[in-house]
Structure 1
Amino acid sequence: MRTLRRRTTVALSVTALLLSLPATQSAFARGSDHAGEDTTRAVYRVPNTDTASRTAVNRTGALVLSVTGKTAFVEATPAQAERLRARGLSPRRLPTTSDAPTRAEALPADFPPEDSDYHTYSETISEIEEAAAQHSEIVDSTSAGRSAQGRDIPVVKISDNAGTDENEPEVLFTCNQHAREHLTTEMCLHILRRYTDNHGSDPEITNAVDNREIWIIPMVNPDGATYDVSGDGYRGWRRNRESEPVDLNRNWGYKWGCCGGSSGDPSQPTYRGPAPFSAPETASIKDFVESRELGGQQRITAHIDFHSFSELVLWPYGYTTAETAPGMTREQYRRFAELGNAMAGSNGYTPMQSSDLYVTDGSVNDWMWAEHGILSFTFEMYPSSGGIDGFYPPDEVIQRETARNDEAVAMLLNEAGA
C-alpha cells in the first residue's frame, strides 16, 4: 500500500507543475506563454538526444529532467513538444493523472505521511540546533541571510575550534537550490551528523574536522522547499518564491544570461531573474562566500552543490562546451576531471563537464570557480533517471543514498588541502 500511495501522490503532482506559473496562481491553473496557448506541463520521453539537442530542448522553454543514455525525460507544454518535433525530435508524452485537486498554499508545510523521514524547514533548523547543543565545541551556526519571504538561510560550521576563525582550508557544501530536490537537504544533514557524531572515534573524520573548516548550507531555497510540501502530496516546484520566481541556479553572476543556457521569460522554469544575484538567496550565499576571502585570498577551496537527480558528477564550465576557456587552463581542467572521475568511481555516478549534459549559464559552479578559484562540483543524486517522480524518492532510500557519497565527500575534503 505504501508504494501505491506514493505513486498516486506523485502522479497527482505531475499535472500540478508550477514551474511556468507566477507565484500567485493556483497549482493547477493554466498559465500562458502566448495568448490562448495551453501551458499545462507534462513529461515526455525523448530518444536519441545529445548535448546539442538537449541544449536546444531547454531553449524552447522545455526542461530536461534526466538523461539515460541518449534518452531524455523532458518537462514541456504541448506547444513546446511540437517545437521539439519541428526540430526533428520525437517526444512521447508519458501518462499522467488529469483530475488533480486544487490545493491551498495556506496548508501547513509537511511531507506526506509515507515520506515523513524527510526534513521540513523547521525540522532542519531543529536538527542544526540539536547538533550545536550536543557538539558545541565543534559546531557553530549562523545565517547567510534571508530568503524572499524572510526565512533565515542557515549555515553550519564544523571545526575543532568552531568559534575561532582558524587558518585552515575551508570546504562548502550547499543543498536544495531547487525546491523540489529534498533528498539534497538530507545529504547536507547527513554530512552534519557524520562529521559531528563520529568526531573523536573515527580517525579520518577526526582528522578532517581538526584540519578543515567545513561549512554546510542545507537549504539554500527555504521558501521554495516549504511551498513544495505545503499541501496534499507534492507541487513539483523548482524556483524560489519571489513574485516572479527565479531559478536560483541561473541567477549567479558569472556569464549570467550569456549563452542560451537560461531564460529571460518569467514564465519559464529556467528564468534567470532580471539581473545577476537579483534573488535574495543567491545574493546571500554570494555575500557569505565573499566574507571568507581574507587578505585577498579565498579560504574556501572546494565546494559541492547537491542536486537531484540523474546520478552525475559535474564540473565547470557549464556556459561553454570548450574544455579550456578564459579562467580554465588545461591543467586546471585535468584536475577537475581527475577528481570528478575519482569521486564518481566511489559512488557510481557518471562524471562529465556540466555542458556535456546541456549548456547552462549563470550557474553556481561557474561562478565559484571563475570568480573565486573554488574547486566547485555539482552532484546530481539518486535516481539515475525518471520523470517528475524522480524528485520524490521514498524516504526509505535516504540513508543509503546519502551514505553513498561518504567517500566522495572525504575525497573533496582531502583535496581541499592540496
Structure 2
Amino acid sequence: MRLQHIRGRRTTAVAALLTMALAVPIAAQATEDSGPHDSAAAKAAAEIPRQYRVTGPDSVAERDRLARLGVSLDEVAKKSVVITADSAQLKKVRALGWQTKSLGGPPARDSSGKKVRPGVADFPSDDSGYHTYDEALKAIDEAVAAHPDILSKQVIGKSHEGRDLLAVKISDNVKDDEDEPEVLFTHHQHAREHLTVEMALYLIDEFGGKYGSDEAIKKAVDGREIWIVPDLNPDGGEYDITGGEYQMWRKNRQPNEGSQEIGTDQNRNWDFKWGCCGGSSEDPGAEDYRGAAPESAPEVKVVSDFVRSRVVGGKQQITAAIDFHTYGELVMWPWGWTQDEVTDGMTQDDIDTFKAIGKDMAASNDYTPQQDSALYTTDGAIDDYLWGDQKIFAYTYEMYPGDSGSDGFYPPDEVIEKETARNRESVLKLLDNADCMYKAIGKEDQYCK
C-alpha cells in the first residue's frame, strides 16, 4: 500500500474573505521594503518575517556576527547570506553597513481561488500534495494497518499545544526489543520545513511497502530497528499554514514568560553545549532563540527522553541518526559549537568516521558534505547532543532546494516524490554502517569486536 503524496483538492466552504492583516503580506511580496508604514495593516505586515540577501559577510566570524542580531541564516554563499528577518532585525543588519535586498515573502500558490478560513491550517491549494498534521497521522495509521508485522507506532509525548508526538518503529519483529543496532530519523524541527515530513512518510512507505520485494529494504528491516519521528514541531507546522498561506514561521509555539514573543528554536534547545558559544540567542524574539533552559521546549524534552530510554543495560542502542531539514542540499556532521574537529569527545578516528560515511552518503544524493560549523556556529543542536551526550553518529541533512531561487523553504509539491526518493540510497548506506560505524575507516576490529 503506497502513501499518496498528492492529495485530493478539498472543497472547503468559505463564508468570508481573509482579513486585511493576512492579505497584505501577499501583496507586499514583490516589493522592496520601503519607508514608514502608513496603515495598521502595513505595520502588521512588517512583522511577518521575510527573506533578504545580505551582501558582505564572507567568513564564519562575520556570519556569526550577523546571526547574533536574531535573524536566521538560511543560505550561505561566498560573499553573501540569505536571512529571515523582521523589520526590527533588518534595521540592525543595515546599521552594520551591510547591503540588503528583499527576496519577498513566501509564495501564494493558490490558483483555485478557494480561500481557507482564517485560523484553519491547510496548505495553499496548489501545494495540496503536502500533508497537514492530521493527514500525516492518517497516512501513518494506514501504513501501520497495512504492514503490522513490521510497522508499529507509539505516542512518545505531547507538543506544547497537546498534539501527539509519534515514533514509528520498523523492524522484522516489530513487537520485540531485539538486540539489533537502532537508527533514528527525526523530522520537522523547524516549522516551515514541510518537505521533511514528506521525507518521513516516504521512508515509512518505502520500508513498509517494499519489504517483500526489495532486497536492500529487507536487509535493513531484518537487521536493524528503525525509529522515525515524523514531526517534532506539529504546532509550528500547523501555524505556518494558517489560513492557507505560508507564514515563514520557524520556531515552536510555546509562550515565553515575561515576553510577548512566541516560540523556541528547537534546534538550539538540546542539552549539549546549550548557549555556550554564541551559536544561539537569549532574546525570545530572535529566530534562533534557545529557550529558557536546555530541553525547555516540550518537544525537545520528549525526544530527548525517548533517546535516553534506548539505553539498555548501560548501552545506547541507537548507533546512528539523521535529522532532516531544508534547505541547502547538505550532509553535515558535528561539531556545530566549534570550528575544531578533534576535541574532548571527538577523536581523530571519530571525525574520520563521520567524514567517510558523510561523504559516501553525499555522493549518492549529490549533496555537499561538511562539518556543521563550516556555515556558522550553532550550539544546542540535535546532532551535537546526540553525539556529545549519547555517542550516536548523528548527521543533519539539508534537503532540496540548493538555494532560495527554487522557492527556498516552500518548494512546490511537484518535487516531493523526486526529492524524498533522492535520499533512499544515502539512508540505506547509513543503515548498512549502523552495526559498526568505524568499519567505514577500516577499524571495526578495534572498536566493534
Whether TM exceeds 0.5 here: the answer is yes
Q: 2:99 aligns with which of 87, 90, 104?
A: 90
Question: Contact 1:10–1:389 at 8 Å: present in 2 too?
Answer: no
SS at match of 1:129: helix
Aligned residues: 390
- Residue aligning to 2:354: 336
SS at match of 2:99: coil
- Any gaps of 5 or more consecutive residues in structure 1? 1-8, 16-25, 32-37, 98-102
Residue 173 (structure 1) aligned with residue 181 (structure 2): no
- Residue aligning to 1:53: 62
Q: Measure, in 1, the Cα distance between the counterparts of 2:118 and 2:24.
A: 20
SS at match of 1:391: coil
Q: Measure, in 1, the Cα distance between the counterparts of 2:103 and 2:128.
A: 28
Q: CA deviation at 1:79?
A: 4.9
Amino acid at match of 1:241: R
Q: Measure, in 2, the Cα distance between the counterparts of 1:201 and 1:41.
A: 46
Question: Contact 1:68–1:385 at 8 Å: present in 2 too?
Answer: no
Q: Measure, in 1, the Cα distance between the counterparts of 2:339 and 2:278.
A: 12
Q: 2:153 aligns with which of 124, 127, 141?
A: 141
Q: CA deviation at 1:81?
A: 3.9
Q: CA deviation at 1:334?
A: 0.9
Amino acid at match of 1:401: E
Q: Measure, in 2, the Cα distance between the counterparts of 1:192 and 1:27.
A: 43
- Residue aligning to 1:205: 217
Amino acid at match of 2:229: I
- Residue aligning to 2:51: 43
1:3-402 counterparts in 2 under 5 A?
Answer: 12=26, 30=44, 41-48=49-56, 49-87=58-96, 89-95=98-104, 107-244=119-256, 245-386=263-404, 389-402=407-420
Amino acid at match of 1:233: E
Question: Contact 1:13–1:234 at 8 Å: present in 2 too?
Answer: no
Q: CA deviation at 1:71?
A: 2.8
Q: CA deviation at 1:310?
A: 0.8
Measured at CA, do residues 118 and 315 of structure 1 come closer, stay the same or move farther in structure 2, by a change above 3 Å?
same
Greater RCO (Cα-Cα under 8 Å, separation 6 or more): 1
1:33-62 residue CA offsets vs partner (Å, 9 max, x unmatched):
xxxxx8664322123522221111111112
RMSD: 2.5
Q: Measure, in 1, the Cα distance between the counterparts of 2:41 and 2:216.
A: 47
Q: Measure, in 2, the Cα distance between the counterparts of 1:10 and 1:312.
A: 34
Q: Measure, in 2, the Cα distance between the counterparts of 1:74 and 1:333.
A: 30
Query: What TM-score do you get using the length of structure 2 for normalisation?
Result: 0.82
Q: Measure, in 1, the Cα distance between the counterparts of 2:162 and 2:298.
A: 9
Measured at CA, do residues 297 and 417 of structure 1 come closer, stay the same or move farther in structure 2, by a change above 3 Å?
same
Q: Measure, in 2, the Cα distance between the counterparts of 1:248 and 1:104.
A: 28
When Rg is computed on C-alpha atoms for both structures, the one with the higher figure is 2
Query: What TM-score do you get using the length of structure 1 for normalisation?
Result: 0.88
Q: CA deviation at 1:292?
A: 0.5
Q: CA deviation at 1:152?
A: 0.6
